[in-house]
Structure 1
Amino acid sequence: MDTVGRARPQTCTRSLDELIARRTKIDKYAFALAATAIALGFIGYQAPSAVARHLGLVGMIVSVFSTTYLIDMADGMTNTIRALTPKKGQSLKTVPTPPKHQPTQAA
């Protein structure tokens, strides 16, 4: 079943260097959001007023979900980067299979 608006191109239009740079940027954002989630959780549990506790805990939850989204996006980008990166020693030539050794029949 095809979903409207979710069609994505199967080929990547970005270069390998652009993908790696974007992945690095996403990692930095994810680490910053994880630190923000920890800080907001600490504020949420330690704040004296109910409003500050509520804002801290809601901010922590939003930061955690945003971090999870970024990590998932980065994982997909990693798969694309791995697919575009040539492997060491990879050759496109086919290696011929050695002939099977057939036992001789004794007469």
Structure 2
Amino acid sequence: MDAACVFCRIVAGRAPADVVREWGDVIAIRPLHPVTPGHVLVIPHTHVPDVGELPGVSARTMACAAELAAELPAANVITSKGHAATQTVAHLHLHIVPRTAGDDLPLPWTSQQHTAG
């Protein structure tokens, strides 16, 4: 556990969170600023800086995220590694972002983000 890490404090029960589901070693919570209704974060209890560290923890976290995504008709499952890739908290977490046709939520690499100039 990293005492300075907000996700470590959440999994330790030392910071508040709206818990969606818990497994023995992974937790799913609602983010403070969801981008769509139903957006959740899936976070391992083990402090892992990003998806590139401890592949077993990353795989277990993805398995839990897959359980949640299976309940949705459409979703993005996203994680980031490093600041340049938009990672803002240095603790592995996966976003489950429910999607609907026409929701107009752009992803950084979609045509919605690129305009001809």
TM-score range, shorter chain: under 0.3
Q: Based on CA coordinates, which of the two structures has the bigger radius of gyration? A: 1
Q: TM-score, normalised by structure 2?
A: 0.25
Where relative contact order (Cα < 8 A, 6+ residues apart) is larger, the structure is: 1
Q: TM-score, normalised by structure 1?
A: 0.27
